[in-house]
Each structure stands twice: as structure tokens, then as C-alpha cells.
Amino acid sequence: MAENGELDSGTDAAPPEAPAPDGPDDN
């Protein structure tokens, strides 16, 4: 699962699999 260097680096960006629950569409 370390194919993406960005994710492996431990960035603050969340993966596309889990979108932020703070989306305006959800509200």
C-alpha cells in the first residue's frame, strides 16, 4: 500500500477513499 510516496510520507492530505465529512454537499 506504499505505492504512493505522498501517502507513505505521512502527509496531512486525506486519501480519496475517505472524503472529508465537512463537505458542503453533506450539509
Residue pLDDT, tens place only, 1-27: 556 555 555 556 656 666 666 666 655
Q: Rounded to two decimals, what is the model's pTM? A: 0.14
Amino acid, res. 12: D
Contacts of 7 (CB under 8 A, 6+ apart): 1, 13, 15
Length of the chain: 27
pLDDT of residue 1: 53
